[in-house]
Structure 1
Amino acid sequence: MLTYVRWYWSDDDRWNYDELDADGWALRHVELRGSDGLFVAAASLAQVRIARDSGTVGAVAEYEQRYGVVPEAPFPPLASALEPALESLSSWEFEHLWRDARRQLERQTGT
């Protein structure tokens, strides 16, 4: 079962939205800059793995430059005392953000 969460990282003024698997690993990750509302990441773990397995030197770096980085550690459970505080969101809300973020990032990079 997938879980959808959002959390704010004040150090970077970023809203983060994640699609998490049952173990808390991010499958897809979106970042929205708070100051201007621009998306700065919309990365997919599956796509990173495809880039990694392509055998092309620099494929992962190219992907991450275009779409950002997927978090590399599992999240704490909802209502955990650990920071950052995670808030639930619906799959519909996440999908809407995902589509908007990908569209914006692809326009920026001309893909």
Structure 2
Amino acid sequence: MTTWMRCHCNEEDIWFYFEVDSEGCVTRQVELQGPALTPTAAASLDEWQQAQDAGRLDEYDHRFGITAELPVTEWEGHDPEELTSDQFEEVWDTARRQITARPS
């Protein structure tokens, strides 16, 4: 079952949004920084793997970032807030539009 969550890192003032599969692996991740909630990452594990297979991993990482590598069950010190699919999709869509609109 897919779940969606977010958590905040106070030290860096970043909101992390996660889509997590039934095994606890992050399949999509958004990072919004500062009071303006500027998107700094909007990465998809599937896209990342496709970029790696195509030899374009550096380009993908530079533009969209990466997803967390450890399953959420192995994370320490985070207190996630559950989200609905619609809440996650709204953040995902907005972040992707803003990131893809920037010059690469």
TM-score norm. by structure 1 comes to: 0.87
Structure 1 segments unaligned to the other structure (5+ residues): none
Paired with 1:13 and 1:87, the residues of 2 have a C-alpha distance of 16
CA offset at residue 34 of structure 1? 2.7
Superposed, which structure 2 residues align to 1:30-109 within 5 Å? 30-54=30-54, 56=55, 59-76=56-73, 82-109=76-103
- Structure whose CA Rg is larger: 1
Paired with 2:50 and 2:94, the residues of 1 have a C-alpha distance of 22
CA offset at residue 18 of structure 1? 0.4
Structure 2 segments unaligned to the other structure (5+ residues): none
CA offset at residue 35 of structure 1? 2.8
Identity %: 36
Contact in 2 for aligned 1:66/1:109 (Cα 8 Å)? no
Q: Secondary structure at the match of 1:76?
A: helix
> Which portions of structure 1, spanning 4 or more consecutive aligned residues, are displaced by more than 4 angstroms?
none
